[in-house]
């Protein structure tokens, strides 16, 4: 009887090891492995072992909740099937050689909190569906070849804390809805092709700690309301075409002391108002 009980436990344990993830989730992971040249990853998966042992994979029960494959020599395109992992909370594919576009059906990933596709070779636009990811807190797409505009509805991401899309080819104006994201702490949009003015509504981002608009094509007056952002510790909005006056505090806060490009493309410092309490705005 004892031997029979031991045998039953062994069989049960073996079955559990084999069924440690749902069939559908495992199928998506296998598709990811195939689509991104898994045989040449820095740290490969042993496909004959349980999914729970695969590098960078975290499970909750039989569901995949995290994929962490940063700097792992992934090449190829992110398969569209990745959006079938509806329980996914983190997708980190930072610093690989991924090409193609960002999957479009991101609205399926309702539980996703972190999406890091930075430092790859991704092109195309940021899908509008990204605005339906209600749980998203950290969005990092920097150092890619992404073009088009920031989605107009991006303000729907009310849980967003970090938005980092620098060194891409993003154009157009900053959507007005972005200034409605009350939890935003880090906003790095530098080295793109943004145009238009920086809205005074930027002062609504009360939690903002780090703002970078460096090296874009933005114009107009720098909102003095930035001074009201008591949590703002780092700022670089230089190498735009902002004009008029700025305050001494903002000039000192800016990494390059408000160095702008004039109409001739020459780098010049913005004029600093001597009036601390009621700065006078230039008519330029």
Neighbouring C-beta atoms of residue 11, cutoff 10 Å? 10
Q: Once rounded to an integer, what is the mean pLDDT over residues 201-210?
A: 98
Please tell me the predicted confidence (pLDDT) of residue 225.
Answer: 94
Q: What is the DSSP string of 128-161?
A: GGGGG-TT--EEE--SS---SB--TTGGG-TT--
Which of 211, 226, 218, 279 minimizes the C-alpha distance to 243? 218
Q: What is the pLDDT of residues 145-190, one digit of tens each?
A: 999 999 999 999 999 999 999 999 999 999 999 999 999 999 999 9
What value does the mean pLDDT take over residues 34-50? 98
> Does 274 or 100 have the greater pLDDT score?
100
Query: Which is nearest to 73 in space by CA: 139, 31, 120?
Result: 120
Global confidence as pTM: 0.89
pLDDT of residue 280: 37
User: CB-hemisphere CA count at 13 Å for 40?
Assistant: 9
Q: What's the pLDDT score for residue 284?
A: 39
* 3-state percent breakdown (helix, strand, coil) of the chain, nearest 5: 25, 25, 50
Contact between 106 and 127 (Cβ < 8 Å): yes
Out of 210-214, 252-256, 274-278, least confident range:
274-278
């Amino acid at each position: 009887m004892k031997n029979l009980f031991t045998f039953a436990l062994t069989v049960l344990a073996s079955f559990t090891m084999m069924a440690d993830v749902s069939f559908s989730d495992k199928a998506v992971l296998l598709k990811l492995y195939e689509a991104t040249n898994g045989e040449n990853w820095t740290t490969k998966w042993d496909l004959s072992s349980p999914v729970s042992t695969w590098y960078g994979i975290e499970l909750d029960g039989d569901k995949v909740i995290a994929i962490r494959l940063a700097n792992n020599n992934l090449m190829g395109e992110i398969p569209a099937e990745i959006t079938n992992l509806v329980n996914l909370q983190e997708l980190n594919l930072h610093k690989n050689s991924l090409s193609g576009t960002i999957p479009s059906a991101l609205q399926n990933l309702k539980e996703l909190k972190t999406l890091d596709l930075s430092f790859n070779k991704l092109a195309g636009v940021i899908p509008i569906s990204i605005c339906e990811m209600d749980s998203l807190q950290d969005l990092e797409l920097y150092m890619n070849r992404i073009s088009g505009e920031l989605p107009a509805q991006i303000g729907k991401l009310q849980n967003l804390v970090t938005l980092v899309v620098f060194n891409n080819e993003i154009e157009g104006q900053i959507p007005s809805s972005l200034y409605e994201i009350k939890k935003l702490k880090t906003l790095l949009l530098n080295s793109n092709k943004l145009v238009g003015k920086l809205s005074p509504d930027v002062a609504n981002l009360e939690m903002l700690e780090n703002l970078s608009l460096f090296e874009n094509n933005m114009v107009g007056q720098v909102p003095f309301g930035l001074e009201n952002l008591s949590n703002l510790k780092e700022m670089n909005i230089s190498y735009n075409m902002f004009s008029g006056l700025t305050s001494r505090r903002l000039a000192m806060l800016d990494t390059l002391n408000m160095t702008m490009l004039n109409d001739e493309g020459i780098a010049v410092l913005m004029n600093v108002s001597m009036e601390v309490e009621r700065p006078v705005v230039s008519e330029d």
